[in-house]
Amino acid sequence: MHLRQIGDTKVSAIGLGGMPMSIEGRPDESRSIATIHAALDAGITLIDTADAYHLGADEVGHNESLIARSLASYGGDTSEVLVATKGGHLRPGNGSWTLDGSPDHLRRACDESLRRLGVDAIGLYQFHRPDPTVAYEDSIGALRDLLDQGKIRMAGISNADPDQIRTAQQILGGRLASVQNQYSPAFRSSEPELRLAESLDIAFLPWSPLGGIKNAAELGTTYQVFAQVAREIDATPQQVALAWMLATSPTVIPIPGSSRPETILASAVAVDLVLTPAQVSRLAQTSTREPS
């Protein structure tokens, strides 16, 4: 498995996104555990989660608990696995996603995530999404305090614009480890954040790298150049999308979501795919939807 860097920690160049195993359409627990164990078997050492990956309001942290149980029941060594969780989003249980970026909430949420993950310090704690009712500086100030208290080992942000990245880096005293934004063949508008993260030596974690749970299967029909390159290198369009992202910048670590062992195993293979500069440039130019 090829490795990339988040802060001081080396992780697999592709991570596992845990969301499809805990929200609408999730599989039964045994399939989820098999998926996480398959990821570990493939050498994946980054698992992305959030306290808000759940359905009902009575099961906050469903995904964190699932990951903690899966790590505990895995036969092999999990000491190198970085679990990256998030706080700042809430799901009241009616399908919506609400926000609370207040320092009080983030402090409480972090304590709950620590308990569910069963660790003394969270490997990477990410502020999930800016809350327009709370000054960004205050939300990030809470992360700085959690770092200073040793409750989190690294701090990251998500859904941030370039100004927010700079603000976070300043408030954290240069300790911002990662930025997690939406980025995929369908969604390229995070390029400025990606390039800024690269220039600051901060990891960039594309979320929904395959276009999201509902669209991932159609990637090759919606963006035909991905299917064309896939045929050229005997891969799938989804693998080509991940390989293309990896080729975009050494700071990129995609976190494709999975709810089946087959899909995370297929994604792990993408780290070994080699694209020519001409293929990367053809893929990069697909900024608009192409007719299928």
Ligand X SMILES: NC(=O)c1ccc[n+]([C@@H]2O[C@H](COP(=O)([O-])OP(=O)(O)OC[C@H]3O[C@@H](n4cnc5c(N)ncnc54)[C@H](OP(=O)(O)O)[C@@H]3O)[C@@H](O)[C@H]2O)c1
Is 19 a binding residue for ligand X by CB under 6 A? The answer is yes
89 beta partners? 99
229 vs 212: CA distance, rounded Å: 21
Structural contact between residues 51 and 86, judged by C-beta atoms closer than 8 angstroms? yes
Is 259 near ligand X (CB under 6 A)? yes
Count interface residues toward ligand X (CB under 6 A).
Answer: 30
Contact track, ligand X, 168-187, x by CB under 6 A: ------------x-------
* 53 labelled catalytic: yes
Q: CB–CB of 210/238 below 8 Å?
A: yes
Rule CB under 6 A: choose which of 42, 263, 271, 275 binds ligand X.
263
Give the whole-angstrom CA distance, residue 63 versus residue 113: 10
Q: Which two tokens stand for residue 259?
A: 């709810």
| C-alpha span between 241 and 106 (Å, rounded) | 34
Choose which of 6, 9, 14, 18 interacts with ligand X (CB under 6 A).
18
Q: Which stretch binds ligand X (CB under 6 A): 2-10, 146-154, 202-210, 272-280?
A: 202-210
Residue 213 found at the interface with ligand X (CB under 6 A):
yes
Q: What is the DSSP letter of 81?
A: P
The answer to whether 248 contacts ligand X (rule: CB under 6 A) is no
**Binding test (CB under 6 A) with ligand X, winner from 211, 220, 240, 253:** 211
Is the Cβ of residue 149 or residue 221 nearer to ligand X in the bound state? 221
Instruction: Give CA torsion, residues 67, 29, 180, 213, to 10 deg.
Output: 170
| CA 61 – CA 290 distance, rounded (Å) | 39
Q: Which residues are catalytic?
A: 53
In the complex, the residues that contact ligand X under the rule CB under 6 A are 17-20, 48, 128-129, 158-159, 180, 207-213, 216, 236, 238-239, 255-260, 263, 266-267
